[in-house]
Chains A and B, each alone.
Chain A
Amino acid sequence: MTTVSIEAARVGERIPSGKLAMWWFLASEIMTFGGLLAAFVLRRFAAGGWEDQAAHVSTRIAAFNTLLLVSSSLTLVQAHAAVKADQRNRVAPYLLCTIVLGLAFLAVKGYEYSGEIAHGFTPSAGPFWSFYYGLTGLHALHVLAGVIVNAALYVLVIRGRLWPRVQQRVEYAGLYWHFVDIVWIFLFPLVYLS
């Protein structure tokens, strides 16, 4: 008669629960953003492009923001790599970089919004602007949520708490963060380039 832990005895915990849960959540998120994007694309086709309204967004600022977000994905995945290599002292700096890049993204976004609103391009300025604020606003909220999660992880890491569990959480937070990045990868051409 041997004694084993409950996790070991379960059938098939091949994928850690946290990761599996995160992917199910992301599946739902894909549908949320996807539904909005589909609505945007269809309505835009139907209305002939809304080019007069779309001409007023700043591609340059958005391209810079894309760079910020893609780079933040890199730093977070590097943090994950450091976790896996058990290089604890490299995790915190990478997390900090991710947080700063995320905040920078939000700051740039805020600057962009304020300029547009100052020029009268509010959400009621036309359907393009409704979708613009709806899509980028919901995305920005997701970025904000990600920044908060990353900041919590950063605090845990620099205090050296919960180390084994933080390892996994860096990976799950990364999944979420990269998903938000992917959403932006589609938002950028949809809103700014076409």
Chain B
Amino acid sequence: MSQVAVVTHHAHEETSFWRKYVFSVDHKVIGRQYLTLGLCMALLGGATVYVIRWQLAWPETPIPLTSWVPEPAMYDGQLDPSFYNQLVTMHGTIMVFFVAMPILLGGLGNFLLPLMIGADDMALPRLNMMSFWTFFTASAVLLSSFFVSGGPAAAGWTGYPPLSANPEYTGVHGGMNLWILALALEFASFLMGGVNFLTTAINMRAPGLSFFRLPLMVWMQLTAGVLFLLSVGPIIGGAVMLLLDRTIGSGFFLPERGGDPLLWQHLFWFFGHPEVYVVLLPGVGAVLEILPVFARKPIFGYRTIVYSTIIAGVLSFVVWAHHMFVAGIDPRLAMPFSITTILISVPFAIMTFAMIATLWGGSIEFRTPMLFTFGFLITFLIGGVTGIFNGSAAVDIFIHGTYFVVAHFHYTLFPTVFFAGFAGIYYWYPKMFGRMMNEALGKLHFWLTFVAFNLVFLPMFVLGIGGHMRRIYNPLQYDFLKPLAPVNQFITMAAVALLLSQIPFILNFIGSLWFGEKAADNPWRANTLEWSTSSPPPHGNFATVPTVYRGPYEYSRPGAAQDFLPQTQPLPTGAAAAGA
């Protein structure tokens, strides 16, 4: 194989502060910007939980530390029912669109995708910068809705009309319009991002990096990008219609003007279900990168995982009505949708089993990223199996709209965004910032989070089975929910513990920027391309374009000098025999 040196002729490095750290086109800066903004929004989303949970445990009592919140949101620490609905709405919106997506796609995706494929940057760097600043604007618009008269949106994160379409039903005027605008901007931002990811992964791969040598994280980001691009259209159309209904008196969703409210639900969930996988797959991707490194084994069944992902992605477009079994759809439609929904457990079961099989015969080191990965496996398993209950139309008659559903999707999204996300952050932090995070604080963070998380959400299944509805301001209104009050109080205490458990992480994340141990180029002894450059990588990422000789998971290969074999390292002899 002839040696080819390749010069990178990326744009010259910007040196002014504004171009280097603020309006940067460097994917690494943009990735860190997304990550930081996402984590900040997570703090806000977490803060809403405190108020919501306190209200549920001790309804209509003053909530400590909130007496500063002005009327009409709170009356000297006592929560207004309308503000409760607004907090519930904003919690959902923030956590799905302004935390999960920026951390997993915007942050990890942006930072890792070009590095993992050996590119100097995204295919369209300026589009990438626009994507972030559009997202920033979206966040600002969303937050500004807290300060307009009438307060923020109060129709739930799903925004079902007519509640969302006619301001009179909620009393929220401008805030709801800002909510729609913020979502539209967010969609536009991730549309730009998705286009960029796909173009980059198809066009910018290093020599030798065929599709089946891509790290699985890249596959997951790719699939997520396709799912997002193909699903977001109808909801953009729906958002336009909703905004027109609210502003110029059109009649898309309001029955009294000849509209149909069910149409929104279909458009929303046609997007909503693939969106779940848009968030989920990058999280799974992080876990799939971390498992082989800390088990020192190749990932089990690489191609099988890729095919399962694609099948799950395709299936995700034909399951959306399972969110609507009792919403007034034709009941005969429920059967096919129930079948496709439950069938989607098969590709995910294959992926999960492949992850577990990777552990078999490994040499597992429980550093913080691996602990979070184990946490992800176990908690996500609960999220997966409880999905079967919701997917069965018959059972859904009872548990739809109850805390069973709330517990289920928190068991899927929290492990994805936080267990897998934290695993990714602990794992790639050295590459992002050039320093290691503190191991002791990391382990403390894991155990506190893992225990508290389960104490919050396992009892929620009990609430759901007891029939406890979602989005209820005061559950004590109902006699049949009164016996569940102690459960609610327990959950609230655990939720406060879960929030406090994040303090070690915040200290660790910020403190390690200055006091962390300097990271080596490849501190985890990993194979993928991002570890073959310096920590953090220079502008342009690689001094010369790396040449790839094999797949990303060649660990503990017999005959190799070390227990890892970087993708860029040529074998002295028989290079052709190197794995696919």
Contacts and interface: CB of A to CB of B under 8 A. Distances in A.
Chains A and B in contact, CB within 8 Å: yes
B482 interface: no
Contacts of A134: 240-241, 244, 250, 252
For this complex, into which size category does the number of interface residues on chain A fall? Answer: 35 or more
B229 A10 contact: no
A88 B123 CA distance: 28
A85 interface: no
Contacts of A33: 233, 237
Interface stretch (A124-132, A142-150, A185-193): A124-132
B207 A32 contact: no
Contact of B234 (A17, A24, A32): A32
Contact of A39 (B10, B205, B237, B248): B237
Indicate the member of A30, A35, A46 with the most B CB atoms within 10 Å. Answer: A35
Interface string A13-42: 101011011001101111111111011001
B210 A43 contact: no
B234 A28 contact: no
B3 A1 contact: yes
Interface in B228-286: 229-238, 240-241, 244-245, 248-252, 257-260, 263, 267, 270
Contacts of A39: 237, 241, 252, 263, 267
Interface in B191-205: 191, 194-196, 198-200, 202-205
A30 to B, nearest CB: 7
A122 B231 CA distance: 31
A6 interface: yes
Indicate the member of A5, A33, A130 with the most B CB atoms within 10 Å. Answer: A130
Nearest to B245: A130
B9 interface: yes
Indicate the member of B10, B233, B263 with the most A CB atoms within 10 Å. Answer: B233
Given A21-B123, A31-B231, A133 B199 contact: no
Contacts of A20: 123, 198-199, 202-203
A118 interface: no
A34 B240 CA distance: 14
B194 A24 contact: yes
Contacts of A194: none
A6 B252 contact: no
A32 B229 CA distance: 10
Given A6-B6, A39-B267, A34 B233 contact: yes
A42 B235 CA distance: 16
Indicate the member of A11, A127, A134 with the most B CB atoms within 10 Å. Answer: A11
B5 interface: yes
B249 A4 contact: no
A129 B235 CA distance: 21
A31 B233 contact: yes
Interface in A24-74: 24-25, 27-36, 38-39, 42-43, 46-47
A27 B236 CA distance: 13
B94 interface: no
Nearest to A126: B258
Contacts of B64: none
For this complex, into which size category does the number of interface residues on chain B fall? Answer: 35 or more
A47 B260 CA distance: 11
B3 to A, nearest CB: 6
B207 A31 contact: no
B158 interface: no
A170 B487 CA distance: 64
Contact of B199 (A17, A46, A127): A17
A134 B236 CA distance: 12
Contacts of A42: 263
A10 B195 contact: no
Contact of B232 (A12, A31, A46): A31
A35 B258 contact: no
A31 B196 CA distance: 18
Interface in B1-36: 2-10
Contacts of B209: 11
Nearest to A9: B6
B267 A27 contact: no
B205 A130 contact: no
Contacts of B258: 47, 126-127, 130
Nearest to B7: A3
Given A6-B545, A24-B229, 13 more contacts: A11-B210, A17-B124, A21-B199, A35-B235, A35-B238, A36-B237, A39-B237, A43-B259, A123-B244, A124-B250, A126-B257, A129-B250, A134-B244
21 contacts: A1-B3, A2-B5, A4-B4, A9-B4, A10-B206, A11-B209, A17-B123, A17-B203, A25-B191, A28-B191, A29-B233, A30-B233, A31-B230, A32-B233, A33-B237, A39-B241, A39-B263, A43-B259, A130-B251, A130-B252, A130-B257
**7 nearest interchain CB pairs?**
A31-B233, A35-B234, A124-B249, A130-B250, A32-B233, A127-B258, A36-B237
